[in-house]
Amino acid sequence: MTRTTLLPWHAPIFKTWHAIANKAHAYLIVAPDGTGGEYLLNQLAHSVLCENTDAQHLACGQCVACLLLQSYSHPDLRVLRPAILDVNHPIEEMRPEQGAGKPKPSKEISIAQVRGLANMVNQTSHRGGQRVILVYPAQKLNRNAANALLKTLEEPPPNTLFFLLVDDVKQLLPTIISRCQRIEAPAPSIDAGADYLNQVLGTTSDWPQLLATENGAAIRVQELSQGNYFELQQQLIDALAQGSRLSALRLAEQFEKHIADAEKARLAGGGSGIDVNTFITWLQRWLHDLLCESQGSGAARYYPKHQKALQQIVLKTNAIKLHEFEQQLLKSKRYAEHPLNLKTWLEHILLDYAQRIA
């Protein structure tokens, strides 16, 4: 988590924050998922807590405060995030307990975590400066936790700064939003994202296309390209591109295994990032491109390499059938978190697809 430089597309926002700092005690950073919002949050925290920042307000990385931050032990910083994000924490004691009889690490921020702030904010700060509390992703606060945090924000403790990060502001309580100064941190442009990926992972001509597919989420593309996410996406799209020759049952069997493997890996702190929602998202993107093609409304946005297959498929179907399938997918998405039987669920979706494009 320690990244010593700002992501290039966050530099203007970091500067803006320092121009408005001290105007509020709570800031809500709105950044699309996978664009590095958590790094921005940490950079801001380090910048506030460092005792020797440079002219650009960047943390020095060498003072006592910075050393405490680097070892995750600064007493004036608290991070509230779901335990599932800590399964791979570099400090062993900070990982959630796992194993037989232990609950799965939570995907939510709990009320206990929010209540745990009390013993920090009721004391004076340890190092005499401000205290910083990071909350991310803030939409993962469960209802009780959100209400408890709201109370704290309504009666802000002295010398305490809150930074909340959210990618979908609609999922946050309006009362929490209204207590925070809002800062937008948009995704990088495709060019800026590609420049960054060229620098950190090496030059390839694939970056602009992968970034377009992932809506410019450069950090997400960086992380996903370390695993098999893009290969699996390719595998699914290649199969869908076969049109009615698609073997729905075999594909369902393959993806049941991929999704189950990824879930296991995720609990161990790694994985490809694919789950049932990802599967549906890929299908929705494919459908988007099919609908574009059937309505003649321009080139494929997500899978332009398959333009020919898209053209052939729309010859055999029509926009009504495609829209019906789109509705079906939205319904399936509601069951996606806990499908009773993953394989049957996948088969159902893929057979439905094959039928509608036949």
- Which tokens go with 136? 């991310």
Binders of Zn ion in range 137-156 (CB under 5 A): none
Q: How far is the CB of 45 from Zn ion (least distance, A)?
A: 12
DSSP-H helix ranges across 243-341: 248-267, 276-294, 307-316, 319-334
Q: How far is the CB of 70 from Zn ion (least distance, A)?
A: 10
Q: Which listed residue (21, 63, 190, 292) binds Zn ion by CB under 5 A?
A: 63
Under a CB-based contact definition with an 8 Å cutoff, are residues 332 and 280 in contact?
yes
Q: Phi and psi for 222 in degrees, rounded to 5?
A: -60, -50
What single letter denotes the amino acid at residue 101? G
Residue with smaller CB distance to Zn ion, 54 or 337: 54
What's the order of all strands across the beta sheet hosting 77-80? Answer: 77-80, 131-135, 160-166, 26-30, 181-184
Q: Which stretch binds Zn ion (CB under 5 A): 7-15, 51-59, 229-237, 278-286?
A: 51-59
Q: How far is the CB of 58 from Zn ion (least distance, A)?
A: 9
CA distances from 328 to 162, 245, 273, 323, 341 (A): 41, 21, 24, 9, 17
Residues in the chain: 358
169 touching Zn ion, by CB under 5 A: no
Under a CB-based contact definition with an 8 Å cutoff, are residues 167 and 33 in contact?
yes
- The site string for Zn ion over 9-48 (x = CB under 5 A, - otherwise) reads ----------------------------------------
Residue with smaller CB distance to Zn ion, 62 or 295: 62
Residue with smaller CB distance to Zn ion, 49 or 172: 49
Residue with smaller CB distance to Zn ion, 47 or 317: 47
Q: How far is the CB of 59 from Zn ion (least distance, A)?
A: 5
- Which tokens go with 191? 């060019």
**Any idea what the Cα angle at residue 69 is, between residues 66 and 72, rounded to 5°?**
155
Q: Which listed residue (28, 48, 66, 276) binds Zn ion by CB under 5 A?
A: 66
Residue with smaller CB distance to Zn ion, 2 or 147: 2
64 touching Zn ion, by CB under 5 A: no
173 touching Zn ion, by CB under 5 A: no
Q: How far is the CB of 200 from Zn ion (least distance, A)?
A: 24
Q: Say whether 29 sits in a helix, a strand or coil.
A: strand
Residue with smaller CB distance to Zn ion, 49 or 149: 49
Q: Phi and psi for 165 in degrees, rounded to 5?
A: -120, 135
60 touching Zn ion, by CB under 5 A: yes
Residue with smaller CB distance to Zn ion, 63 or 190: 63
Say how far apart CA 52 and CA 62 lie, in whole Å.
Answer: 8
Say how far apart CA 102 and CA 104 lie, in whole Å.
Answer: 7
Residue with smaller CB distance to Zn ion, 59 or 309: 59
Residue with smaller CB distance to Zn ion, 49 or 176: 49
- Which tokens go with 246? 């698609």
CA 290 to chain centre: 27
Binders of Zn ion in range 230-269 (CB under 5 A): none
Under a CB-based contact definition with an 8 Å cutoff, are residues 137 and 80 in contact?
no
Q: How far is the CB of 46 from Zn ion (least distance, A)?
A: 7
Q: Which listed residue (44, 50, 259, 262) binds Zn ion by CB under 5 A?
A: 50
Q: How far is the CB of 176 from Zn ion (least distance, A)?
A: 31
Count of chain residues binding Zn ion (CB under 5 A):
6
Q: How far is the CB of 52 from Zn ion (least distance, A)?
A: 5
Say how far apart CA 217 and CA 220 lie, in whole Å.
Answer: 5
Residue with smaller CB distance to Zn ion, 48 or 180: 48
Say how far apart CA 205 and CA 264 lie, in whole Å.
Answer: 32
Helix (H) or strand (E) holding 87: none
Q: Kindly list the residues in this chain that would bind Zn ion in the complex (CB under 5 A).
A: 50, 52, 59-60, 63, 66
